[in-house]
Structure 1
Amino acid sequence: MGADHSSRRHWLARLVAGGWALAGARAVHAQATPGVSPQAILIGQVLSMQAGRNDHGVATRQGVEAGVRRVNAEGGILGRQLQIRVADDDAKPDQAEALAHQLVADGVFLLFGSIEGGPSNAVMKAANAKNVPFFAPMAGSPTLRRPLQPLVFPVRAEHRDEFRALLAHGGSLGMRRAAFLQSDTEVGRLHLANVQLACADLGWQPPLALPIGSEVSDAQITAMVQRLREARCELIFNHGSIGVYERLIRALRQAGLGIACYGVNSGSAQLAKRLGELSHGMLFTQVVPSPWERKTALTRDYQTDFRAAFPDPEFSYGSLEGYLSVRALAEALRRSGRDLSRAGFVKTLETASFEVAGFKLRYTREEHIGSTFVDTALVTRDGRFRH
């Protein structure tokens, strides 16, 4: 990122230790509706910044702050200022769950804006336990949607839609044999089931499953390369585990295998940066438009508001998704009316369809869809993403 490290540390320390615009939070907690006062609405956000080491988390949080500044400059939510209290879960699900419980105990109106599948599922667990809405988890886990989670309202598209888009692109090039790198967990197996369904629907052969644990040895990487060679796979893509995926891609290239390497949005920028020249020609799905182009009303708003809030950091997918998510939250709160309650918020969203600067979202009683937007971006020779 462009900001110098000292200013970044100062911003993070101020944000996490002091919260975001929390004057009067104790008075807010005392209201009949937790988190709601005549002047403000207090929201709790648990996300993985890892004390500034997680570039994606930091960028996401900056995008949220840029969006909050816009919302409040325009008069807030029916006259109430939007306030976000932030807690850093250090990318640890147990910590994310505990922090979500603490934010609810501190009197936030709802939970919002986690990143990554494990922490997001942990925050969902706390939201369900406390009967508190959870808006805009920025993760593609199927468990956030199926079975229906009455309190959870995603904004971004899920990984299932991204997997299908990657396979459809490969299929347009004549490919029919895919491999899927996934965590050897319940969620990872659910992702695999979605890949298997997509392959069947699109006329592909059943995918080669490459499940991995938390630790992957060099010998395991070598064995995966051999399995890919024997199965004559033409395409591989992943869910998460970008560190392992990077090692596998390097091993594939060293072995002279020309298998196409694709990926989902999660960690795409970090993976491309780590791979350097080896990322050139890789295809990634993205769940927001290009943050560098001004082709949509959303990205034009984002670029103006983000640059006003942060003169130095680069535009990114993470900050755009954070910006979109908080603006969607603001619209959902407005639609819930002046007499705000958690039950009323949920009821409003159960039949809501709306746009945020042209970006469409939809929710029903049967399915909390959010967005179905999935785009593909190719990594160019200069390391940029071309949509």
Structure 2
Amino acid sequence: MKLVRFLPALLLVAAGVAQAQLRVVQIAPLSGPLAGTGKQLQQGAQLAFAEANAAGGVHGQKIVFETLDDAYKAEESVRLAREVAKRPEKPVALLGLVGTGNVAALIKEGIVDEIGVPVIGVRTGASSLRQPGHPLVYHLRASYAAEVEKLVEVASTIGNTRFGVMYQNDPFGQDGLQAVQRALDKRKLPLLASAGYEKNTTKVEAAVETLLKAPDLQAIVLVSNSQATATFVKAYREKGGLAQLYALSVNNDREVVAAIGAERARGLGITQVVPFPTSGVMPVTRAYQGLLKKYQPDAEPSVSSMEGYLYGKVLVEALKRAGPKPTTQGLVKALSAAPFELGGYQINFTSGKHEGSDFVELTMIGAGGKLIR
């Protein structure tokens, strides 16, 4: 088992000082094709917990944050979660899980129920995990359907009417493909071509050929993760493909640029479901930037890190509401008691809903590989 524990002074009590602790567990990829995403979610959550611990913790208790590496493999997510379930002391929450299939497996196998603590923030927008949702899983990001609706709206408004889709052949990809079909049906536009590729691979060559053969595509929606997206963009452009390419928020712009270079990545549209991390408009982004500079001075702001920070902030505030000895019931009640006002950005689980945000905006990789709005 690959296990990473973060026990620096910013997260733990000083050695030799006895103090109650609140343990939070993340199961996410720190290796494999989504390693960059998992690490950045982890880094962002660390900032929120560092901020809380530096202020004395939550009701005097320090937050201990532990990450288990599942390499983006559903069977590893299940194995690691079962180990957590067997521990004598359960964490107060799970946080920052990654992947539609991974989260679905934990629910299907009954492990979320077995651990019996809230899951705060999952890196998936799949409708299949929301309708119906699980009573312990709290989504802090907009759905893939909302993301697809936004990008199809933008693309069609500027005159694109001929669409294709490249999708990961798993629950994530199928969810995105269906969302594209619904968005196009709403506008009475055809889906001219679609092609899949296998999860945990970058074998997109067949998809490239299929979409190149489709007549005069103007826009292609990529329901794929960063490395597969990068491989597709590179191959499609090198073979003369001219359609505008759009990807969903699960893509890490830095990984795409690092994989294929700034010039090849330029022009790729990417939906985002959290505030722009380099903006100075919202107090929450300014706070995030300040914490990053203080605790991770060698890191640059990123969308995924910003998302992890929001996960951590919501959990910290919920723990404060739940009182000195938070139970699962108390934490669930705290999550739905009132909206979380996070410095200009709101997460709202009131009225029993488990989808806290519908925020979506479209960004693009611009000159020099920089993400622009």
User: 1: CA distance between counterparts of 2:178 and 2:34?
Assistant: 33
Within the alignment, does 1:383 sit opposite 2:369 as a pair?
A: yes
Question: Alignment partner of 1:136: what SS?
Answer: strand
- Map 1:277-356 → 2, pairs under 5 A: 277-356=263-342
After TM superposition, where is structure 1 displaced by more than 6 Å over at least 4 residues in a row? none
C-alpha change, 1:186 and 1:290, in structure 2 (3 Å) is: closer
- The amino acid that maps onto 1:248 is F
2:133 is the alignment partner of 1:148: yes
- 2:79 maps to 98
Q: Does 1:127 align with 2:118?
A: no
| Inter-CA distance 289–296: structure 2 relative to 1 (3 Å threshold) | same
In 2: Cα distance, 1:112 partner to 1:304 partner? 23
Q: Does the CA-based 8 Å contact 2:12-2:62 persist in structure 1?
A: no
Instruction: Provide the identity percentage.
Output: 25
Match of 1:249 among 233, 255, 263: 233
How do 1:161-176 residues align onto structure 2 when only pairs under 5 Å count? 161-176=146-161
Conserved in 2, the CA contact under 8 Å of 1:124 and 1:152?
no
Aligned CA distance change for structure 1 residues 352 and 193 (closer, same or farther; 3 Å): farther
RMSD over aligned CA atoms reads: 2.9
The answer to whether structure 1 residue 261 and structure 2 residue 252 are counterparts is: no
CA distance in 2, matches of 1:290, 1:173: 23
Secondary structure class of the residue paired with 1:312: coil
Cα deviation for residue 223 of structure 1 reads 3.2
- Is the contact between residue 251 and residue 270 of structure 2 (CA under 8 Å) also seen in structure 1? no
Aligned ranges 1:62-211 → 2 under 5 Å:
62-106=43-87, 107=89, 108-125=91-108, 126-206=111-191, 208-211=193-196
Q: Aligned-pair distance for 1:333?
A: 1.7
| Aligned-partner Cα distance in 2 for 1:331–1:21 | 19
TM-score, normalised to structure 1, is: 0.84
Q: In 1, Cα distance between the equivalents of 2:317 and 2:280?
A: 22
- Please state how far the C-alpha of 1:353 moved relative to its aligned partner: 1.8
Unaligned 5+ segments in structure 1 are 1-11, 28-37
| Residue 181 of structure 1, CA deviation | 1.4
Q: Distance in 1 between matches of 2:154 and 2:357?
A: 20
CA contact (8 A) 1:288 1:374 kept: yes
The 3-state SS of whatever aligns with 1:75 is coil
Q: Note the 1:212-231 alignment, pairs <5 A.
A: 212-214=197-199, 220-221=206-207, 223-228=209-214, 230=215
Helix, strand or coil for the counterpart of 2:131? coil
CA distance in 2, matches of 1:76, 1:190: 39
Distance 1:74 1:129 in 2: 33
Counterpart secondary structure, 1:238: strand
Alpha-carbon distance between aligned partners in 2 of 1:343 and 1:279, rounded to the nearest angstrom: 46
Q: Note if contact 1:44-1:85 (Cα within 8 Å) is conserved in structure 2.
A: yes
CA distance in structure 2 between the partners assigned to 1:123 and 1:312 by the alignment: 35
Matched ranges for 1:232-247 at <5 A: 232-247=216-231
- Checking the alignment, whether the CA contact within 8 Å between 1:196 and 1:207 is kept in structure 2 is no
**How far apart are 1:339 and its partner, in Å?**
4.6
Aligned in 2, Cα 1:333/1:143: closer, same or farther, shift over 3 Å? Answer: farther
Task: Give the C-alpha shift of residue 344 in structure 1.
Answer: 2.2
Distance 1:99 1:155, change over 3 A: same
**Matched-pair contact (CA < 8 Å) for 1:225–1:248:** no
SS in 2 for 1:147: coil
The answer to whether the Cα contact below 8 Å between 1:242 and 1:271 also exists between their aligned partners in 2 is: yes
Measure how far apart 1:313 and its partner are.
Answer: 1.6
Equivalenced residues, count: 362
Task: Provide the C-alpha distance between the structure 1 equivalents of 2:167 and 2:208, rounded to a whole number of angstroms.
Answer: 17
